[in-house]
Homo-oligomer: A and B are copies of this chain.
Amino acid sequence: MTSDPFRPAAAVRPGDRVAIIAPASCFDRPSFEAGLKVLAGRYRPAFSEGIFSRHRYLAGEDSRRLEELLGALADPDTRAVFCARGGYGATRLLLQLTQLSPPGAGKLLIGFSDITALHLWLQAHGRVSIHGPVLTQLGRLGTPTHERLFGLLESAAVPAALHGTASYVGGRAEGRLIGGNLSMLSRVIGTPFMPVLRDCILLLEDQGERPYRIDRMWTHLALAGVFAQVRGIALGSFTNCEEKDAPYSSADLLRELAAATGLPCAAGFPVGHGEQNEPVPLGVRVRLDADACRLEFLEPAVGG
């Protein structure tokens, strides 16, 4: 898709009105209320009653979720858009978004996991967005994570670097940070939403995928030429990805898969479905030092 230059978003201020939407799966109410409390401590969150709809595993029909998404992005009084939960369902919306430019230029969308599908849509149109906690997760995360999220939304200073726990392939690389959930990225291969990955740093995380499935998704990326394009790989958490009673771990597998790419790769960044989910801007330039397991941000998410 397009490789428009990426534009930073407009800064959000404390007290600003922000929207909450549910473009993917339905969710439980107590987690929603807990996250709402965190958000209401800083901004004026708004949502429609329709957000509590259920249709199978979805937060209501596609038409409801699509309308809610586009309405929140377009609303001039809303300064940022928070997703209630991932799960599954954003991919279905892509079917309607193929020909559609996102409204609300300069407005950040926040989420991860299945929400990666929406980040990919925004990135296809040169929009920076935030890979970070969904609302139903905010209540379980600590104040430092909340502070980092508010900082990303409000400050034109570059975010603090993140540190991983293991160097899989040494080396350094610089590029735009693109990616998120491995399952979701692999599900846009060969579609109009596959991002331009040339010279990028690829961020990947996942949960609940057995090792052979991680192998299969990674191999799909390889067959599609992804590792011939990107410059480096930053791995977040791969939670609940172990095979019962197996003599190998998903980390063993990922280390082997990373080695085959020959690209600088560090693992264990506190991003994804683990106990920590530090927000990071997607679409901004970063520097990966895979020897020091360090991911440094060279640009902020919002303009000065």
In the complex, are the beta carbons of A223 and B56 less than 8 A apart? Answer: no
- State the Cβ distance, A210 to closest chain B Cβ, in Å: 9
**A216 near B91: Cβ-Cβ < 8 Å:** yes
Interface check A248, CB cutoff 8 A: yes
B219 & A91 in contact (Cβ 8 Å cutoff) = yes
Whether A219 contacts B57 by the Cβ 8 Å rule is no
With A and B bound together, what is the CA distance between A215 and B56 in angstroms? 11
Interface residues on A, range: 20 to 34
* Shortest distance from the beta carbon of A174 to any chain B beta carbon, whole Å: 26
Contact B216 A187 (CB under 8 A): yes
Contact B223 A191 (CB under 8 A): yes
Bound-state Cα–Cα, A44 to B190, Å? 43
Question: Chain A residues in contact with chain B, CB under 8 A?
Answer: 25, 56-57, 87-88, 91-92, 94-95, 98, 183, 187-194, 211-212, 215-216, 219-220, 222-224, 243, 246, 248, 253
Query: 7 closest pairs, A vs B, by CB?
Result: A190-B190, A189-B190, A191-B223, A88-B212, A190-B224, A57-B212, A187-B220
